[in-house]
Amino acid sequence: MKTKKKAPRRAEALRLYVADLGKAPVQRYAKVQKTRNRLIPIGNVDVDIEHLVERTFLCDRHRCIQWTPHDKKADAKPLIDRSCCSHYTVPVTDLDRDKVAEILPLVRKRLEKDHPLVLDESEPPYDVQDDFSFAMRERESGACQFVIYEKGLTSCAIHKTCLEEGLDPWVYKPLGCSLWPLAILDYEDDDGNDRMLLTIYARATEGLFESEPDGDSADESSFACLVDKSPDYDPMYRSCKEVIAHTFGDEFYRKLDVAAQKHLARA
């Protein structure tokens, strides 16, 4: 009988070494978290327990912006806007563009009279980036052009339009906006399977994301909602229930809730 020839040990070690060097940060991170039992696998999605289950979160738009005058909210103007909508350049996919184009006539009614999208209806709401991808056009301040400031509160004109018109905001807002601070990354595991990691933009996960030349970063210290991890708030996954169910389905959310509750009961 012919015996199978084994690869020389040194060649095998070199192959593994080169493969390891070529791994993306998300592959390494997912592997470490898996080894530590810090992932909840649901279908082809791995949920990051540390950030989705053990961490609490509350989105409170009053905390993102400092206003003047401080006491008269009816006339308040934004002084310093540290909201996610002013911090990031928002990537826009083909699907996002179609949905925004659909709702734009209704959104225009909620924008200021001298807003560029109102003054010239042929104006596109996007800019083409150096790599030919699309990004939401920004105001001079750096905030997204759909940010509206009124009565001491900031809102998204698309979100507001949906609520007032009885439409689903998760369908019309760019997915990247709806998800934040959640992040979805795809990766290939050691067996060559395509998987997704559901985590968040935080200091601990910063190495997973490419830092942008325009200064965008995942640094959580910029956001009050990420700094404040009060135990009185819900776990991250529960605070983001609607968008998680919209993105992955109700059944996915139900499984996540069962697994997360088990984990929290053990902790």
Query: What does the binding site for ligand SF4 look like in residue numbers (CB under 6 A)?
Result: 85, 90, 136, 144, 146-147, 156, 158, 173-174, 177
**Rounded-to-integer distance, Cα 216 and Cα 135, Å:** 13
> 164 or 250: whose CB is closer to ligand SF4?
164
**Rounded-to-integer distance, Cα 16 and Cα 12, Å:** 6
Q: How far is the CB of 25 from ligand SF4 (least distance, A)?
A: 25
Q: Contact 205/29 with Cβ under 8 angstroms?
A: yes
Element (H, E) at 250: helix 250-266
For residue 160, what are the contacts with CB-CB under 8 A and spacing of at least 6?
A: 110, 148
Q: How far is the CB of 125 from ligand SF4 (least distance, A)?
A: 9
List the beta bridge partners of residue 80.
66
> 85 or 197: whose CB is closer to ligand SF4?
85
Q: Which residues of 69-102 are buried (b: 16+ CB within 10 A; e: fewer)?
A: eeeeeeebebeebebbbbbbbbbbeeebeebbee
Q: Which of 107, 167, 113, 112 is nearest to 136 (CA)?
A: 107
Strands 45-48 and 194-200, by their bridges, are parallel
Q: How far is the CB of 197 from ligand SF4 (least distance, A)?
A: 22
> 33 or 178: whose CB is closer to ligand SF4?
178
Q: How far is the CB of 150 from ligand SF4 (least distance, A)?
A: 13
> 38 or 87: whose CB is closer to ligand SF4?
87
> 48 or 96: whose CB is closer to ligand SF4?
96
> 53 or 136: whose CB is closer to ligand SF4?
136
Q: Is 35 exposed, middle or buried (0-12, 13-18, 19+ CB in 10 A)?
A: exposed
- Angle (CA) 37-40-43 rounded to 5° is 135
Q: How far is the CB of 174 from ligand SF4 (least distance, A)?
A: 6
**Rounded-to-integer distance, Cα 83 and Cα 226, Å:** 11
Q: Reply yes or no: is the peptide bond before residue 181 cis, omega within 30 of 0.
A: yes
Task: Count the Cβ atoms, other than its own, within 10 Å of residue 261.
Answer: 13
Q: How far is the CB of 108 from ligand SF4 (least distance, A)?
A: 14
> 183 or 260: whose CB is closer to ligand SF4?
183
> 177 or 256: whose CB is closer to ligand SF4?
177
